[in-house]
Amino acid sequence: MTAVFTLGSLPLGPVFEPLLVLLITVAGCLLLHELLIRRVPLLRLLFGLKPLTGKCSPAADSLAQGT
């Protein structure tokens, strides 16, 4: 069952319900992008992201060295 479908049975009103639908949609898209699309190489390609390289950023290198 989706969260938006569940909202239909709650008495939320004409302002609060669309705001919740928007919030749930944005949160779901962000989670999908961060947790799945950015980490699966084929999905990265299909969504137009650059392939992952084995190199770390300079900030990650300095953190790893403890400086």
Give yes or no for residue 25 having a pLDDT over 80. yes
| The pLDDT value given to residue 58 | 57
| The pLDDT value given to residue 67 | 55
Q: Which residue has the higher pLDDT, 9 or 64?
A: 9
State mean pLDDT over 30-37: 93
Enter the pTM of the model: 0.64
Q: How many CB atoms lie within 10 A of CB 53?
A: 6
Buried b (16+ CB within 10 A) or exposed e, 32-42: eeeeeeeeeee
Give yes or no for residue 7 having a pLDDT over 90. no
